[in-house]
Amino acid sequence: MPMTSNATAQACSKVEIQPGCTGSWYDIGGEATTVTLPEEVVNTGMMYVFNDDRAITTHGKKQPFTAVVSGAFTNGATEAFNLVRAIWQTAGCDRKMCLRVTPEGGNIGDLEIYVGDLLTGLKPPDVDAGSGDPSAFSFSVYGNYDYDTKAS
């Protein structure tokens, strides 16, 4: 099989969040630095019988997972940290947020990967008096993958 000529650079991805999993998507590519998307797996089961050395194996539904986004800390009202923080500080049990990653950059026809719908973690920036590095924060979204093709 010949080598592909259609590989996509990771740095060209588009990263967006959607507070409440409804309404507008916010492009956080100006602050996001990494997105860790874990392997999605299904529940599996097994049972041994007496007359065989192997197990009877089965599988079930897809298990939810946690995706982690890291980024540069900024304090602008419409930038990633404050958008996520506003959801995190919501009283009660309604911390819904969806994540959308478009590895090819977000053009019509590109694959969109959705994760949602619960914001389950927010890590504020660490500080270090001896560092000149930008401050970083991270957040976690819990859910399952859904895939779509960018239509517009």
Under the banding of pLDDT at 50, 70 and 90, the label for residue 148 is confident
Instruction: Please state the domain count of the chain.
Output: 1
For the segment 26-46, what is each residue's pLDDT rounded down to a tens digit? 999 999 999 999 999 999 999
For the segment 47-57, what is each residue's pLDDT rounded down to a tens digit? 999 999 999 99
For the segment 56-115, what is each residue's pLDDT rounded down to a tens digit? 999 999 999 999 999 999 999 889 999 999 999 998 888 999 999 999 898 888 999 999
DSSP code per residue over 72-126: E----TTSHHHHHHHHHT-SSS--BEEEEEETT-S-TT-EEEEEEEEEEEEEPPP
Expressed as residue numbers, the domain containing 67 is 14-41+52-149
Regarding pTM above 0.85, the answer is: yes
The tokens 């409804």 sit on which residue? 22
Is 63 part of a structural domain of the chain? yes
CATH number at residue 95: 2.30.110
